[in-house]
Chains A and B, each alone.
Chain A
Amino acid sequence: MNLRNISVIYRKELTDALRDRRTVISMIVVPIFLMPVLTIFVGVLSAHLIGRALLQVPAVMIIGGENSPQITTALSELKDVHVVPAASDYAQQIVDKKIRAAIELPSDFDALIARGDTAKVRIDVYQGEINSGFSADKLQKFFQDFRERTIRERLDARHLPANLAEPIVIEEANVAPPEKVGGVVLGGLVPYFVIILSLTGTMYPAMDLTVGEKERGTIETILCSPISRISLVLGKFLMVLTASLSTAALAIASMGLTLAAANKMVGGGSQLKTMGFQFHITPASVIWVFVMIAPLAVLFSAALLAISLFAKNFKEAQSYLSPLTIVVFAPAIVSILPGVELNAGLSLVPILNTSLVCKEIVSGTYHWGYVALIFASSCVYAAGALWVAIRLFQREDVLFRI
């Protein structure tokens, strides 16, 4: 191993990579623009969809209530729903989105209320469908108001106080600091994006520096120079690692700025702010997320270098690396799932451990014992992958597997 030769190879590979449009896109353009574009796109799209659904006057159907003109008239007079004539296939009409909801009333609803009895009302909806959900909300609100009014009337009739039917008032208050509340929401997403991007940022350079050399015929050219194979693989590895780390760093920076901008746009008096959400990552969190991602970047760089070298051509390398993205996606997604908490066992599971610890870091929680364990275990996995890459570069059957 010769540091001078490693540096010569690294500089050449960096120059070469920075002139390659595909590498620049995956290494610089994607991490910088993905998060802002996604945020703006998803934000605008969801605001548009929700706004449209809220403005819509949904068609609803009243089933039953034949002898209850008071309630059916009150429902028909509602401005934000449009009552359509009843039909026996109302359930199918909801599924077909012809109507958004149906209210099932007993035929003697008015009489039951007048007698002081309980009337059962059922609202039929298409669960998970946004327009149906909003329609149900409007009907729920109507009946809640109706219920409260009826309770008040019944209590008044008996000369009883209004709070009789309300023995306790339940109030939920958030005691967590705003950054932790925001962190719970963002904590899973930030590492997810950073991990995925640091992998995808590594893919193209890793293929270009290994199987790309085979395909272009430059592998023989470099192998007949007097540098050792270890220097060669380390020079290449450092370049791939640079790609991975810069992708991760740019992704974290871009996310931080996007979230800061989003925070400003949300504004001081907004509902989210009132609820205690604060979408921002502290500089300390950014640094620690980057520190924890670093050994993972080493692991990705070495593993992708080894796998790509093993392939005969670009196409084969892509077919090897595509399933690998699923292998990385799976633990990254698991870490977002609610209830998956960091523990000693999970601290040893590669990728998932980094994802979980970053989630904690973003929400401002630092379990130093786990941080150390995860960093150490990730370093061991990374060293193993690098060792495999070095061994493969010394195998003729791999280098000349054409």
Chain B
Amino acid sequence: MIAAESLGKEFHDKKRGVIRAVANLSFFCTPGQVYGLLGANGAGKTTALRVLATILAPTSGTARVAGFDIRQEPEKARQNLGFLSTATALYGRLTALEVVEYFGCLHGLNRTEARRRTLLLFERLDLDAFRDRRCEELSTGIKQRVSIARTLVHDPPVMIFDEPTSGLDVISARTIVAFIRECRQSGKTVVFSTHVMSEAEKLCDTIGIIHDGRLLAEGSLQELRNRYGCVDLEEIFIKVVGG
């Protein structure tokens, strides 16, 4: 479960002064649900998700990830989440097997257990042929599958995806979308950000429209359609952000 309560994040820039990247963000996502943060570039999606993943510390408010407060117990929160974005790269000089096993060990698994889970995931994700290849030698699509294995190795109950399909080809993007669906089916709490309307329409149980760091609208696709009188999510988005 993820519960964000009045979450805020400010940055201090020497030239631009205080930049409010996220302001008073509150939302709730339960297990087996996909919550989509929909927003334009620079809307605050990545910052919000980085705060939830405790990569960045909030300047106001808080959130609970799998029952752990991100301010009080950030390491426990991270222990229970998997974070994937196109920016989360792999270690090029390590093999696919070593990378996933390494992250298993970092999440508290012993080497034997990390190896066992890695091999199971590789079988499931059809990565057996690539296990001993260095990540720098893998194609983008295979790298993406190895990243999925990395996020799943400790079997986290909460998954956070930051624009996971951005910059990927159609086939690699489909793998990611299928993976998000699988997470929902297996009862995981999923929060993901996108600026691709079709992805949000296909995947999200609840959509939150974020603009200038603030959550302007929230609801299921049907609820948003009813509220704004439009069928197309793109039209709803434009109406909400006032473009």
Determine whether the beta carbon of A220 is less than 8 Å from that of B85: yes
**B78 and A224 within 8 A (CB):** yes
Distance between A178 CB and nearest chain B CB, rounded to angstroms: 48
Contact flags (1/0) for A5-28 with B, using CB distance below 8 Å?
Answer: 100110010011001100000000
CB within 8 Å of B: which of A203-230?
216-218, 220-228
Q: Give the residue of A8, A19, A225, A227 whose beta carbon is less than 8 angstroms from that of B93.
A: A19
Residue from A15, A223, A227 in contact with B98 in the complex, judged by beta carbons closer than 8 Å: A15
Chain A residues lying within 8 Å of B130, measured Cβ to Cβ, are none
For window 375-402 of chain A, which residues contact chain B by CB distance below 8 Å? 396-397, 400
Contact B89 A217 (CB under 8 A): yes
Q: Are A16 and B91 in contact (CB under 8 A)?
A: yes
Range class of the B interface residue count? 20 to 34
- Quick check: is B177 within 8 A (CB to CB) of the other chain? no
Q: Are A224 and B107 in contact (CB under 8 A)?
A: no
Residue contact B88 to A217, C-beta cutoff 8 Å? yes
Rounded to whole angstroms, the CA-CA distance of A19 and B75 in the bound complex is: 30
Per-position 1/0 for B62-89, Cβ under 8 A of A: 0000000000000110110101010111
Residues of A within 8 A of B89 (CB): 216-218, 220-221
What separation, in Å, do the CA atoms of A282 and B26 have in the docked complex? 70
- Contact check, A16 vs B85: say whether CB atoms are below 8 A apart: no
Q: With A8-B106, A19-B93, A220-B55 as known contacts, state yes or no: A227 contacts B75, CB within 8 Å.
A: yes
- By DSSP majority rule, is chain A's interface helix, strand, loop, or mixed? helix
Q: A225–B82 Cα gap in the complex (Å)?
A: 8
Q: B81-127: which have CB < 8 Å to A?
A: 81, 83, 85, 87-94, 98, 102-103, 105-108
Compute the total of residue contacts between A and B using a CB distance below 8 Å. 67
For B83, the chain A residues whose CB sits under 8 A away are 220, 224
Cβ-closest chain A residue relative to B80? A226
B75-A16 in contact (CB<8A) = no
Residue B145 interfacial (CB < 8 Å): no
CB distance from B59 to the nearest CB of A (A): 11
CB distance from A135 to the nearest CB of B (A): 59
Give A5 to B150 CA distance when docked, in angstroms.
Answer: 17
- Interfacial chain A residues near B106, Cβ < 8 Å: 5, 8-9, 222, 225-227
- Say yes or no for B230: interface residue by CB 8 A criterion: no
CB pair B93 A396 closer than 8 Å: no
- A228–B79 alpha-carbon span in the complex (Å): 11
Q: How far apart are A160's CB and chain B's nearest CB, in angstroms?
A: 86
Contact B94 A16 (CB under 8 A): yes
What residues on A are CB-neighbors of B87 within 8 Å?
A: 217, 220
By a CB distance below 8 angstroms, the chain A residues around B55 are 220, 223-224
Judging by beta carbons under 8 Å apart, are B108 and A224 in contact? no
**Per-residue B-contact encoding for A220-242, CB less than 8 Å = 1, 0 else:** 11111111100000000000000
Residues of B within 8 A of A397 (CB): 11-12
How far in angstroms is the closest Cβ of chain B from A69?
82
Decide: A12 and B53 in contact? CB cutoff 8 A: no
Cα A7 to Cα B79 in complex, Å, equals: 18
Contact call B88/A225, Cβ cutoff below 8 A: no
Interface residue ranges, B against A (CB under 8 Å): 11-12, 50, 53-57, 75-76, 78-79, 81, 83, 85, 87-94, 98, 102-103, 105-108, 134, 150
5 cross-chain CB contacts under 8 A: A8-B102, A12-B94, A15-B94, A217-B89, A397-B11
Q: Which residues of A contact B (CB under 8 A)?
A: 5, 8-9, 12, 15-16, 19-20, 216-218, 220-228, 396-397, 400
- The 4 A-B pairs with the shortest beta carbon distances in the complex, nearest first, are A217-B89, A224-B83, A226-B79, A226-B78
